[in-house]
């Protein structure tokens, strides 16, 4: 903690205690709470750019005395999780609207994304087949192993949908000339959004010009178990609609599940597998609702 003491010496604040909340180092002083972040050197450029796009929804830096660590006034919110999620999506669409630019497609970058995702999918497919082969040789399966085997077809189905979509995305991008990019926050979750007073995103360390799908995908991945995403996605799409290739890339990311790794605890292993099953079920439901909405839109156009 001594690395931060000089910040408070500069601004004459007495430190009462240190704490951590959702990964943030919270420091309580006589005149309020602050959190400390290590800077990566791009913050001034980032915030200047956001201001130039008339986007002011980020935390003001309290001190200008240290180039390595910065203080931010710590704020909490007391709105419901559902209302907070809606406000996050509205602010996200505003960020994307205000920072949208178009650029020539970099086929090398497209190929890199395509190959990276395909390599991950091939690895996962092999990993789960090997795990299945091993589990099925056991005379007595553990509860977690039994739970995984009962859902193994869903795992393979998720991976196949991801592969179908990343291949389709690569094919589309191969003949396009322009692509749309935004300033992606690239670390979105309810924990990185403060819905109090002027709503703000925090923790911009990973922000960069990239595809808009990364933000909603990471929001979904971080909070899939907390929220009903169909309505949130509908709100976002009503304000910032994905292009056809963006939606395909989004599906490729969302259906790419993670690797399950067992521990020595049977209970923990059941939780690990259950979390994966919950993610798969919610993803199937999410896109089932989206498909129904697309069918309704197409019917309305025909009528």
Whole-number Å distance between alpha carbons of 223 and 278: 12
Is the same domain home to 171 and 269?
Answer: yes
Is the same domain home to 43 and 189?
Answer: no
CATH number of the domain encompassing residue 296: 3.90.1200.10
Is the same domain home to 262 and 286?
Answer: yes
- The more confidently predicted of residues 262 and 71 is 262
Lowest mean pLDDT across 17-26, 112-121, 193-202, 294-303: 294-303
Is the same domain home to 68 and 105?
Answer: no
Whole-number Å distance between alpha carbons of 63 and 5: 13
Kindly tell me if the per-residue pLDDT of 277 is higher than 70.
yes
The DSSP code sequence of 146-193 is HHHHHTHHHHHHHHHHHHHHHHHHHHHHHH--EEEEEEE-----GGGE
Is the same domain home to 92 and 70?
Answer: no
Kindly tell me if the per-residue pLDDT of 298 is higher than 80.
no
- Indicate the number of domains in the chain: 2
Is the same domain home to 102 and 43?
Answer: no
- Residue pair 233/290 in contact by the 8 Å Cβ criterion: yes
Strand (E) or helix (H) holding 125: helix 107-136
Kindly report, residue by residue over 124-166, the tens digit of the pLDDT: 999 999 999 999 999 999 999 999 999 999 999 999 999 999 9
- Residue pair 15/28 in contact by the 8 Å Cβ criterion: yes
Is the same domain home to 20 and 114?
Answer: no
Residue 244 structural domain: 83-302
- Record the pTM: 0.85
Kindly tell me if the per-residue pLDDT of 77 is higher than 90.
no
Is the same domain home to 63 and 88?
Answer: no
Confidence (pLDDT) at 2: 46
Which band of pLDDT confidence, cut at 50, 70 and 90, is reported for residue 205? confident
Question: Which of residues 40, 74, 108 is at a domain's end?
Answer: 74
Q: Which percentage of the chain shows pLDDT scores above 90?
A: 66
Question: Which of residues 46, 74, 102 is at a domain's end?
Answer: 74
Kindly tell me if the per-residue pLDDT of 176 is higher than 50.
yes
The answer for residues whose C-beta is within 8 angstroms of residue 54's C-beta and 6 or more apart is 98
Question: Which of residues 53, 74, 95 is at a domain's end?
Answer: 74
Is the same domain home to 65 and 135?
Answer: no
CATH number of the domain encompassing residue 48: 3.30.200.20
- Residue pair 163/121 in contact by the 8 Å Cβ criterion: yes
Is the same domain home to 15 and 56?
Answer: yes
Is the same domain home to 61 and 130?
Answer: no
Kindly report, residue by residue over 5-44, the tens digit of the pLDDT: 555 554 555 666 666 666 666 777 767 777 776 666 677 7
Is the same domain home to 140 and 245?
Answer: yes
Kindly report, residue by residue over 103-127, the tens digit of the pLDDT: 999 999 999 999 999 999 999 999 9
What would you report as the CA-atom Rg of the chain, rounded to the nearest whole angstrom? 22
């Amino acid at each position: 903690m001594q690395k931060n003491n000089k910040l408070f010496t500069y601004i004459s604040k007495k430190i009462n205690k240190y704490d951590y909340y959702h990964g943030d180092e919270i420091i309580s002083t006589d005149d309020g709470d602050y959190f400390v972040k290590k800077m990566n050197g791009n913050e001034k450029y980032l915030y200047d750019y956001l201001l130039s796009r008339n986007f002011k929804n980020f935390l003001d830096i309290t001190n200008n005395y240290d180039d390595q660590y910065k203080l931010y006034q710590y704020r909490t919110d007391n709105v419901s999780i559902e209302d907070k999620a809606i406000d996050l999506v509205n602010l996200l669409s505003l960020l994307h609207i205000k920072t949208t630019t178009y650029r020539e497609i970099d086929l090398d970058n497209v190929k890199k994304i395509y190959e990276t995702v395909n390599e991950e999918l091939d690895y996962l497919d092999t990993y789960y087949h090997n795990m299945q082969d091993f589990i099925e040789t056991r005379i007595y399966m553990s509860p977690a192993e039994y739970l995984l085997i009962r859902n193994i077809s869903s795992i393979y189905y998720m991976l196949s949908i991801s592969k179908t979509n990343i291949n389709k995305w690569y094919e589309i991008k191969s003949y396009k000339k322009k692509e749309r990019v935004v300033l992606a926050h690239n670390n979105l979750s309810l924990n990185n959004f403060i819905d109090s007073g002027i709503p703000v995103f925090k923790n911009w360390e990973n922000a960069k010009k990239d595809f808009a799908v990364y933000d909603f995908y990471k929001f979904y991945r971080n909070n899939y178990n907390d929220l009903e995403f169909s309505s949130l996605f509908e709100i976002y799409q009503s304000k910032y609609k994905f292009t056809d290739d963006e939606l395909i890339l989004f599906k490729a990311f969302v259906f790419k599940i993670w690797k399950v790794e067992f521990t020595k605890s049977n209970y923990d292993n059941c939780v690990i597998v259950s979390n994966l099953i919950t993610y798969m079920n919610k993803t199937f439901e999410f896109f089932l609702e989206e498909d129904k909405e697309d069918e309704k839109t197409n019917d309305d156009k025909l009528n």
